[in-house]
Amino acid sequence: MFNIKSHKEFLFFLTTTTLVILLSINFVQRAEKRHENHVSHLEEDYEEGDEKDSKPTDWFIKQRMGTNRDQFNFAAFRKAKDQANQLVKSASSRATWEFVGPTNIGGRICDVEMDPTNANVAYFAAASGGIFKTTDQGQNWFPIFDNEMTLNTGDICLAPSDSNIIYVGTGEVNPGGGSITYPGLGVFKSTDAGKTWTHTGLDKTQCIGRVKVHPTNPDIVYVAATGALYGESEDRGVYRSKDGGKNWERVLFVSPKTGCVDLAMNPKNPNVLYAAMWERIRKPGYQKYGGPQSAIYRSQDGGETWQKLENGLPKSNDNTGRIGIDICQSQPDVLYACFATTSGDHLGVFKTTNAGDSWKQTNDGTLYGGVGTYAWWFSNIRVDPNNPQVVFFLGFNFYRTQNGGNSWQNVGYDMHVDHHALYIHPLDSNVCLAGNDGGVYLSTNGGSRWKKSQNLPITQFYSLAVDPKDANRILAGAQDNGVNFIATGSKSGWKGVIGGDGLDVAFDPTNSSYAYGESQYGAFRASSNGGRSFGWGGSGISGNKGWKCPIAVDPTNGHVYFGSDRIYRSTSHGSYFSSISPKLTNGDERDPFGTVTSIAVSASDNDYIYAGTDDGNIWISKDHGKNWKSIAKNLPKEWVTSVAVHPTNAEIAYATISGYRWDKHLSHVFKTTNAGESWEAISTNLPEAPVNGIVVSPDAKTLYVASDVGVFMSKDQGQNWQVVGKGLPNIVIHELDYHQATNTLFAATFGRGIYKIDVSSN
């Protein structure tokens, strides 16, 4: 025992100890803050073996490609959308989904635009949440695109000569491992400021980076098509329409793996165009974000012919990555372009004062730390339309130069990181609108200070959990915006309680003072105050962890289960875990997958534990985890997304799988009545889209599933399915939770927050 010899020594000891503790706390808080600010994107190269964990894009797309596939079946995706729309049209339900929140957390923005004649009117494109509009400079936003076939958006363009005419390019072009990216369905057009829309084609382009409209003729439109995200495609390059989108022709094509990611147009001579071409290949476990075909091209005849620009620009080679470009509207001979390397580093910002004939690199040394190693995630540049000396560089941080690139300053300290969009108003350059992974921000002093818009119902959620004893208390894990908590039922009072990317969450149904959550790669946390704050837990957990690791709580005793490549159990409220299973997958240590994806403990007999894996396996233990048996022998070898157990019979269970069909019908929901000895497909008329989760009503009479194309229910054990309610955005639904006390079904959407619906009438 430490012996205090004197009062002075005691005071010295106490002071020193306190100082050490305070410094330690400060260090941990700062380290955790740095971690939270930088966790969205990590270096990607499985082939080099530096990072074996599955990135979110890999996690999302691998399961949807299907077993032994390296392409996304776009035709099957379109068909599933059509099937879902038919069910929506035939739905008779009168119940309406209600938005729960949050409005104060935000989500990823791909583009922002303002009416060039009225700074109070603006629009933003949410990555997977559609198009929103404001008429009061961002005080209030409302959706204007919800009735369309897709809410996955890439760019917005208002016709300079008539701001009632709007073109929207769908499909996000940010293809990195930093988040989930879904293809779009081409170009949409509105002639009444967003009240109604018409689909104008280019469906097969899948992802659109930029749309530009002729300054005086709104029928002449150019589209930068990045193309298919996960494979080579002929449907990429620069497209042109001369009749308002009725017909399109491709005017610039480089190769099946090189798309156009950015476009600039000379407003004084719209025949002069600049195209940023980007060579890239993106597949699960492999990505190459650049190549010798990445370059800037110029056309001086409206797109008829193109010239590759090189004088002073980086030489096109294997190290040439993503490119962004912009032009000064008032002095269009001045352009800036930012280049990234294939590995995602900053390569340079270049300037021309002679319309691209020659270029010179700016003094941009400050920017090399501003993108991390994932410049493929943003790499955009914007020029003040009234002053070519003022330029913004959009990266992980947000930089501005006011002297033409001689020096750069970070002006984004009061903003979320990961910047994708900026609009500087031509009537007043002090008014700027910016978009990033956290939402929309407004500046009224030229970008020196920023204020976040609070009314943004666009959060991309992976998961949710509702307190069984209080339906107002919700935990939900979000892309880029951590785990969020609400206890009051307020749409705007949500609070971030875990940083980074928020993944799985759970309440203890036996004592809701205990709650659990995680950030990416299974970074487990536990709460003892009902989710209001979290501390580190998960000691004892090891093995291969996926992007999202399943967390489950035994409904009878509150024991916590966690999945890596095996099952762990905690009897200490998440402080310490012990392995209760062998490795349950076929993945090796270098495999970015090979993980447990779902865990379900029977409420009627907790000796029964079910587990699903990403390599198409389902396992069962009937003796509380002592022994395990594979029970997937007659199931498709597809990614298992969820397993649920009948509330009163542990032998009856349900499983759902991901994947789009290829050459034959693919059922996505299965049932067993004998603990997995056999399975029956029960997805009859359900759209052939990935099913991400299933819940069973407490009376076991109704099944509810969350899918990529909506929420559906069956009252006859899967023989027939119908749409649940109306008013739910056309968006990916990742998870459902049934609140028994109020007969309320909650849904976690990927791009539009949390919704709920009263299902008591069902």
Class of domain 106-452: mainly beta
Digit-coded pLDDT (tens) for 389-400: 999 999 999 999
How far, in Å, are 134, 157, 214, 239, 438 from residue 161 at the CA level?
20, 12, 8, 21, 32
Digit-coded pLDDT (tens) for 151-192: 999 999 999 999 999 999 999 998 665 567 788 999 999 999
Instruction: Give the pLDDT score at 32.
Output: 36
Per-domain boundaries in the chain? 106-452
**Largest interatomic CA distance in the chain:** 91
Q: Looking at per-residue confidence, does 441 or 92 come out higher?
A: 441
Check pLDDT > 70 for residue 420. Answer: yes
Helix (H), strand (E) at residue 28: helix 7-38
Instruction: Give the pLDDT score at 214.
Output: 99
Instruction: Give the pLDDT score at 698.
Output: 95
Q: Which two tokens stand for residue 548?
A: 């999202």
| CA angle at 681 for the pair 585 and 283, rounded to the nearest 5° | 45
Q: How confident is the model at residue 411 (pLDDT cuts 50, 70, 90)?
A: very high
Instruction: Give the pLDDT score at 155.
Output: 98
Which residues contact residue 663 at a Cβ distance below 8 angstroms, ignoring those fewer than 6 apart? none
Task: Give exposure, 165-182, as e/b (b: 16+ Cβ within 10 Å).
Answer: bbbbbbbbbbbbbbbbbb
Minimal CA–CA distance to 436: which of 474, 392, 477? 392
Check pLDDT > 70 for residue 366. Answer: yes
Q: How confident is the model at residue 281 (pLDDT cuts 50, 70, 90)?
A: confident
Minimal CA–CA distance to 581: which of 572, 590, 595? 595
Q: Which two tokens stand for residue 756?
A: 């709920």
In three-state secondary structure terms, 94 is coil
Mean pLDDT of 79-88: 88
- Do 106 and 450 touch, CB atoms closer than 8 A? no
Mean pLDDT of 601-623: 98
Task: Give exposure, 709-719, as e/b (b: 16+ Cβ within 10 Å).
Answer: bbbbbbeebbe
Mean pLDDT of 719-724: 95
Q: How confident is the model at residue 112 (pLDDT cuts 50, 70, 90)?
A: very high
Mean pLDDT of 328-356: 97
Among 46-60, 270-284, 329-343, 568-582, which stretch is predicted with the lowest mean pLDDT?
46-60
- Do 704 and 73 touch, CB atoms closer than 8 A? no
In three-state secondary structure terms, 175 is coil
The amino acid sitting at 762 is N
Mean pLDDT of 728-749: 97
- Do 492 and 193 touch, CB atoms closer than 8 A? no
Minimal CA–CA distance to 199: which of 184, 191, 189? 189
Residue with tokens 């079904």: 745
Digit-coded pLDDT (tens) for 12-68: 434 444 443 343 334 333 333 333 333 333 223 322 323 333 467 778 888 888 776
Q: How confident is the model at residue 293 (pLDDT cuts 50, 70, 90)?
A: very high
Q: Which two tokens stand for residue 488?
A: 């009051």
d(CA 657, CA 651): 20
Digit-coded pLDDT (tens) for 196-227: 999 999 999 999 999 999 999 999 999 999 99
DSSP secondary structure letters along 49-87 = TS--SPPHHHHHHHHHH-TT--S--HHHHHHHHHHHHHH
In three-state secondary structure terms, 558 is coil
Check pLDDT > 70 for residue 407. Answer: yes
DSSP secondary structure letters along 525-557 = EEESSTTSS-EE--BT--S---SS--EEE-TTT
Strands 162-170 and 187-190: antiparallel
Digit-coded pLDDT (tens) for 699-712: 999 999 999 999 99
Instruction: Give the pLDDT score at 13.
Output: 39
